[in-house]
């Protein structure tokens, strides 16, 4: 397999947009191609992520329309991927694998989503279609409910009183908003404090409003290529060191909601390919759809032991400049940067690439050499991890 590198990365501002999915993706894609010193005619394939375009704008089969909007060659096939929130990460993983295999030399990948259009309540119900339609959705569960249950179980399993756990969770939100306040592309660019989080509206007990990420509109794109070609074209190619994807199935087969088993498998695969361990990771963009989710993720990777990540943010260990073992979600994460479902993974890759290039400005993690992208699709159904290095 060939070495693979990312040449260009871009994202629209995440937030509320008037643009279509294809228009948002095209905005990001044009910037990513320009950054790569390449043009649409140079793309050999498009791997496009979108989750619910049919509900959002009556648009199925969106990939060939993104393709034609950008003027890609007809011989460059456009393929849509959907893996709930992990949609774009999965698209990028397959792009990396097929470039590594020599099937394509240069691929455009990423995704877009208009998640705001429906409003939060309808969007919550609509995206709940990513849980099991017979055994979960019909029981009334939505994603906040899933992570609320996981929070209660975490509290019980590790004997951490709920008020203490909730304060630690609030610190996750505070940290991610602190980071997001420095990110001009973030949906929310505003710091918050623990009292704001603990005073928020109850969403699904014990998760309050600021424990939850928003729905966002946005698009994000990357250009990925054979590493030799990448080195000819850009000054700082960022290498794909390993990828992993695993399937957890529905909630009702999970034995322990405090363990996201699919993530353990996905990270193990990516880490093995990259030849690294959890302690080698300098910076992580992980799937903090809820504050609890960030805690669980850090334990899945083995960066923290099980039951030990809950106070990582409270201790400042995962904060920019906190001097801890790893900086987590310097972009602001889903919590503050936002969560345009089908674009989220590409937005995470964008942040990690900028960090590893040393071009993250105020949010720069000093000396970052190894970065991890982590995205969870559905309620434990799909996890995709990508490890990047400078």
Between 251 and 284, CB nearer to a second copy: 251
Among 35, 59, 117, 189, binds a second copy (CB under 8 A): 59
Among 6, 25, 67, 281, binds a second copy (CB under 8 A): 67
Under the binding rule (CB under 8 A), the answer on residue 170 touching a second copy is no
Under the binding rule (CB under 8 A), the answer on residue 78 touching a second copy is yes
**Cβ 101 to a second copy shortest distance, Å:** 3
Under the binding rule (CB under 8 A), the answer on residue 339 touching a second copy is no
Phi, psi of 85, rounded to the nearest 5 degrees: -65, -20
Among 28, 29, 32, 52, binds a second copy (CB under 8 A): 52
Helix axes 162-180, 143-157, angle to 10 degrees: 130
Under the binding rule (CB under 8 A), the answer on residue 76 touching a second copy is yes
- Per-residue tokens: 146: 């899933």
Under the binding rule (CB under 8 A), the answer on residue 39 touching a second copy is no
Question: Pseudo-torsion of CA 64, 65, 67, 68, nearest 10°?
Answer: 120
Under the binding rule (CB under 8 A), the answer on residue 121 touching a second copy is no
| Radius of gyration, alpha carbons of the chain | 19
Under the binding rule (CB under 8 A), the answer on residue 108 touching a second copy is no
**Cβ 91 to a second copy shortest distance, Å:** 9
Residues whose CB is less than 8 angstroms from the CB of residue 119 and which lie 6 or more positions away in sequence, other chains included: none
Q: Which of 67, 179, 310, 339 is catalytic?
A: 339
Cis peptide before 244 (omega within 30 of 0): no
Burial 326-363 (b: 16+ CB within 10 A, else e): bbbbbbbbbbbbbbbbbbbbbbbbbbbbbbbbeebeeb
- Per-residue tokens: 205: 């007990």
Distance CA 312, CA 295 (A): 8
| Window 264-283: residues binding a second copy (CB under 8 A) | 265-266, 269
Under the binding rule (CB under 8 A), the answer on residue 340 touching a second copy is no
Distance CA 28, CA 219 (A): 6
Residues whose CB is less than 8 angstroms from the CB of residue 164 and which lie 6 or more positions away in sequence, other chains included: none
- Per-residue tokens: 87: 């949609």
Stretch that binds a second copy, among 34-42, 52-60, 160-168, 314-322 (CB under 8 A): 52-60
| Window 8-27: residues binding a second copy (CB under 8 A) | 20
Under the binding rule (CB under 8 A), the answer on residue 105 touching a second copy is no
Under the binding rule (CB under 8 A), the answer on residue 127 touching a second copy is yes
Active site includes 339?
yes
| Window 359-388: residues binding a second copy (CB under 8 A) | 377-378, 381-382, 384
Neighbours of 161 (CB within 10 A): 9
* 354 close to 360: Cβ distance less than 8 angstroms: yes
Active site includes 384?
no
Site of interaction with a second copy (CB under 8 A): 1, 20, 46, 51-52, 54-55, 57-61, 63-65, 67-68, 72, 74-84, 90, 94, 97-98, 100-103, 127, 129-134, 137, 245-250, 253, 261-262, 265-266, 269, 377-378, 381-382, 384
Query: Which residues are known to be catalytic?
Result: 85, 339
């Amino acid at each position: 397999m060939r070495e693979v590198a990312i040449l260009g990365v871009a994202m629209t501002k995440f937030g509320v947009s008037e643009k279509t999915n294809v228009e948002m993706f095209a905005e990001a894609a044009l910037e990513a191609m320009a950054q790569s010193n390449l043009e649409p005619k140079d793309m050999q394939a498009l791997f496009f992520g979108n989750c619910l375009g049919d509900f959002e704008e009556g648009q199925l089969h969106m990939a060939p329309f993104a393709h034609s909007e950008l003027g890609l060659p007809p011989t460059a096939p456009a393929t849509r991927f959907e893996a709930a929130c992990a949609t774009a990460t999965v698209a990028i993983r397959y792009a990396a694998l097929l470039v590594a295999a020599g099937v394509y030399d240069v691929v455009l990948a990423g995704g877009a989503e208009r998640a705001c259009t429906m409003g939060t309540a309808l969007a919550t119900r609509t995206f709940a279609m990513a849980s099991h339609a017979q055994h979960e959705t019909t029981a009334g569960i939505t994603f906040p409910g899933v992570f609320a249950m996981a929070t209660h179980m975490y509290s019980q399993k590790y004997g951490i009183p709920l008020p203490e756990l909730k304060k630690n969770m609030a610190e996750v939100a505070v940290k991610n908003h602190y980071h997001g306040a420095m990110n001009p592309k973030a949906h929310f660019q505003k710091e918050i404090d623990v009292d704001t989080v603990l005073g928020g509206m109850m969403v699904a007990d014990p998760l309050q409003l600021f424990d939850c990420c928003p729905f966002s509109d946005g698009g994000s794109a990357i250009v990925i290529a054979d590493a030799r070609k990448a080195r000819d074209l850009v000054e700082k190619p960022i290498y794909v060191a390993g990828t992993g994807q695993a399937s957890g199935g529905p909630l009702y087969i999970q034995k322990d909601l405090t363990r996201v088993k699919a993530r353990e498998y996905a990270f193990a695969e990516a880490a093995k390919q990259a030849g690294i361990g959890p302690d080698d990771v300098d910076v992580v963009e992980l799937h903090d759809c809820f504050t609890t989710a960030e805690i669980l993720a850090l334990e899945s990777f083995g960066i923290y032991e099980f039951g030990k990540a809950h106070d990582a943010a409270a201790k400042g260990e995962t904060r920019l400049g906190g001097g801890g073992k790893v900086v987590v979600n310097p972009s602001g994460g889903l919590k503050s940067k936002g969560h345009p479902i089908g674009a989220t993974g590409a937005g995470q890759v964008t942040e990690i690439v900028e960090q590893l290039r040393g071009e993250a400005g105020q949010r720069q993690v000093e000396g970052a050499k190894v970065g991890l992208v982590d995205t969870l699709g559905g309620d434990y159904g799909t996890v995709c991890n990508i490890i990047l290095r400078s």
